[in-house]
Amino acid sequence: MINFSKIPTHSFVGRTLRSFLRLIPKDSVLPILQGRLRGKKWVIGSGSLGYWLGTYEIEVQEIFEKTLRRGDTVFDIGAHAGFYSLLSSVLVGPTGRVFAFEPNPFNLRFLKKNIASNQCPNVNVIEAGVYDKSGRFPFSEGSNAFTGRIDEAGKIIVKTVSIDEEVAGGRLPTPDFIKIDVEGAEYFVLRGATTVLRRRHPVIYLSIDDSKRREDCAKLLLDLSYKLISVDNADLKQTSCILAIYRA
């Protein structure tokens, strides 16, 4: 696989490539070029061009490919435009299920289109954020599509759900794998899922870039007998990507 994102932006090749990519209309729907999702349809303007190139977070893609099994149930929390929802859909197959949680209205438009364009009957889009309790909270859309978050200063109101409440109420099945990328609400997502984590031990992929939140999440997971692995080989106190696996 050619990782285009590794080509220096200041190099001739990098400048030429990026100039070409900027000419592609944002509403174009084109096949993904590489990786496990090669040939799947993608809306170019729905996020990083790395999605379409197939090179977005290659190391994380590899974790999904090594971890997910046919028939698994996946919760994609903070689904954005659906890249990992789509990847999960392919990996778990027709007997598996994917639940894509996304509260940001901007992202939801692309998420729904990307899933519909690829005819993924095993993917359910849930128009809600995940938190430690169900309700309605202010949400800030952020400076770009990747930075939206639950925020008291937010100008829109979004629905939230708790994993424990949804599973206990029979509205969602128990997950085998949970991906969490929620720009600040990571601890609250985990706190709202402690019963499921304690009883069913799903594998967790956690994206986090704040030292205090990382510490809080790590303590909660360690208390639930999870082993924590740094995905990017950095020290666990500094890594931005954690894989949590239950220690049987």
CA–chain centroid gap for 51, Å, is 13
Per-domain residue ranges of the chain? 57-246
CA atoms of 124 and 70, how far apart (whole Å): 17
Q: Is the pLDDT of residue 7 over 70?
A: no
pLDDT at 117: 96
Lowest mean pLDDT among 2-16, 31-45, 99-113, 206-220: 2-16
Q: What is the pLDDT of residue 204?
A: 98
pLDDT digits (tens, 9 = 90+) for 198-227: 999 999 999 998 889 999 999 999 999 999
Residue 248: both structure tokens together: 């049987």
pLDDT value of position 138: 86
Q: Which of 213, 247, 216, 212 is nearest to 229 (CA)?
A: 247
Instruction: Decide if 61 contacts 38 (C-beta within 8 A).
Output: no
Distance of CA 172 to the CA centre of its chain: 18
Confidence at residue 8, expressed as pLDDT on a 0 to 100 scale: 54
Q: Report pLDDT for 20.
A: 61
Q: What is the pLDDT of residue 10?
A: 62
**pLDDT average, residue stretch 78-97:** 97
What pLDDT is attached to residue 141?
Answer: 77
Contacts of 246 (CB under 8 A, 6+ apart): 201, 203, 224, 225, 226, 227
233 pLDDT higher than 70? yes
What gap in Å lies between CA 134 and CA 156, rounded to an integer? 17
User: Within 13 Å of residue 78, how many CA atoms lie on the same side as its CB?
Assistant: 22
As a whole-number percent, the residues of the chain with pLDDT over 70 amount to 90
Q: Are 100 and 85 in contact (CB under 8 A)?
A: yes
Residue type, 96: G
Class in CATH terms, 57-246: alpha beta
Q: Return the ∠ at Cα 198 (arms to 72 and 226), rounded to 5°.
A: 80
pLDDT for residue 134? 93
pTM (2 d.p.): 0.90
For residue 17, the model assigns a pLDDT of 59
Parallel, antiparallel or unpaired: strands 177-180 and 149-150? unpaired
Backbone phi, then psi, for 203, in 5-degree steps? -70, 145
Report the alpha-carbon distance of residue 233 to residue 230 in Å, rounded: 5
pLDDT of residue 77: 97
End-to-end alpha carbon distance in the chain = 35
Q: What is the per-residue pLDDT for 152?
A: 77
Mean pLDDT across the chain: 90
**Residue 147 pLDDT > 80, yes or no?**
no
pLDDT at 163: 98
